[in-house]
Chain A
Amino acid sequence: MKPGQKPKAKRWLFYFGAGYLILLVVLALSTPLFKYQYADKVGAVLLPPSGQYWFGTDQQGRDVFTRVIFGARMSLFIGLSVQMLCLILGVLVGVGSSMGPKWLQQLLQRITDAMFAFPDILLAILIIGVWPRSLMGDGILPVIVALTITSWPAVARIVKNQVASLKDREFIQSTMALGAPMPYVVFKHLLPQLWGLLLAITMVDLAGTILAESSLSFLGIGITPPLPSWGSMINDGRGYINSNPMLLLWPCLVLSLTIFSLNFVGDALREMTDPRSK
């Protein structure tokens, strides 16, 4: 079903979500043009929103609008890196566990199943917990590794199920009967069928990854300050909930809208690409 054929409310949500995401990406990419950078102190602390400081200033006198957009940059960077790695790992494992030799299929299947036995973010927290202190750096690498490890099995499972049902279809069977080598079949015939679905799933999973990154930063074990992250900004803002609730409002609002939009756009894309999920 195309978005044009959907009920009005849903179509509006799709356009709103897509518009919001485009705006966010454009802003995040244009940060070099900004007047302030994320760690610049502009002078007065805890200013209310004004023409000069759109979202006000925080407890250290930094421009909140700048930090929220740099936070978006951080979230999108981590989210997209994780999704890219998950896609590569997931496609490799998914194809391997449905097309590979029997022993490889069994092995990959067991590993994927074992990964599902852990509650998601708990495993990420454990991985960051065992990361050597001295190699922590700014926290970006540990977060990317931890979230990739926790989220690839979902992609692998979907790819595996899709490939397993596709490989018995006639066009694949006949290509193989003609003696086409396995990599050719996989890359030329199997994967092109999956890109649409994978794109939709990546959108929805991206929401989960951004949420997980914010959760880790909120708990104080994600991105290290002064690097901005929505999660740590929310955690900082909690201290000023009485005196300056606006400080808390902005990252909460932008984060929630991002999660919202990714879910709506992802669901709409999935409905377009996967006829079964109506």
Chain B
Amino acid sequence: MADELAPGDQATVLAGEKASFQTVSRLREQLGLNRAWPIRYGEFVTKAARFDFGNSYYGTKEPVNKVIAKNLPMTMTIAFLAISLAALIGITLGTLSGSNENKPQDRAILILSTLGVTIPTFVLSPIFVIICTQNLDLLPGQWKTTRVAPDIFYLIMPILVLAARPTAQITRLCRASIIEALQQEYTKLAVAKGVSRARLIFKHALRNAILPVTTSIGSNFGILLTGSFIVEQAFLLPGIGREAIEAIQKGDTPLIQATTLLAGAMFVLVNLAVDLIVPWLDPRVREAQV
């Protein structure tokens, strides 16, 4: 990856300021930094294909795989719980709002979702902390190594904060799609046929509105991945994002490579899943493919 192109030599940093030239060059040889970057890149790709990312430069020089294995479950848990929550709440609120256009509940949801889109994740997390842990004393503020409550209590706040932005985006999109679907000819026909209001909204409008919403979940997952970097930092959760930031601050190249590759892979996988779900939901796409 691009990391290999970075001219900054980690050997000089690692050996320390007072290291002799010999120590530095020995270290450089050990790490394989003395070879040209195309060779190192080729090696990285072939090794990465076998899920071998080498060892971390710092601490106990643990294999990167182990570091990832330790941190991946946390990121996976909060990312997938948050995106599910965002889809669930977003579609519910969006439908409620879109089918009651310009009524008070629509206005309220619209204001809330505008706030959700504009307030940054790292502003939202201290607000949640102040409300939930300082004033209400409801939830633990951050991840602790010695836990007194079940894991889920530590995860509620991070997941809510992480889900806020995607929820707001999905709500707005779903509202717009429902409004558009309700103006189509087929809904007018359904009304003329005497279809009940509930059936009209769920069977006719939502069934059509759900398609762009499903597609948007893919791009929202990207927003969410970035958010997970911030949330993990804010709530001190042991996840990929926090590991990646620490690696960048220390210049731990193997770890930077592995974590960013992994985050990118998760993004691609979710978008692939979305692409597979869409034809299942939309017979028009399904037929176009056959």
Contacts and interface: CB of A to CB of B under 8 A. Distances in A.
Interface of A: 117-122, 125-135, 207, 211, 214-215, 218-221, 231, 234-235, 237-238, 241-242, 245, 248, 252, 255-256, 259-260, 263
A66 to B, nearest CB: 21
A170 B222 CA distance: 41
B251 A133 contact: yes
18 contacts: A119-B223, A119-B263, A121-B226, A122-B260, A125-B229, A126-B1, A129-B244, A130-B3, A130-B256, A214-B122, A215-B122, A215-B226, A219-B229, A219-B233, A220-B249, A241-B130, A252-B123, A263-B118
A69 to B, nearest CB: 18
A130 B3 CA distance: 5
B3 to A, nearest CB: 5
A219 B245 contact: yes
Nearest to A217: B122
A129 B256 contact: yes
B7 A220 contact: no
Contacts of A231: 122
B8 A134 contact: yes
Q: Is the interface of A mostly helix, strand, loop or mixed?
A: helix
Contacts, number: 110
Given A215-B122, A234-B123, A133 B8 contact: yes
Contact of A238 (B6, B126, B225): B126
B73 interface: no
Given A218-B233, A221-B245, A241-B134, A129 B260 contact: yes
Contacts of B256: 126, 129-130
Interface in B225-243: 225-226, 229-230, 233-234
B226 A234 contact: no
B123 A119 contact: no
B249 A221 contact: yes
Contacts of A242: 134
Given A119-B221, A120-B226, A125-B226, 6 more contacts: A118-B264, A121-B226, A214-B120, A255-B123, A259-B120, A263-B118
Contacts of A135: 8
Given A133-B13, A215-B226, A241-B134, A256 B233 contact: no
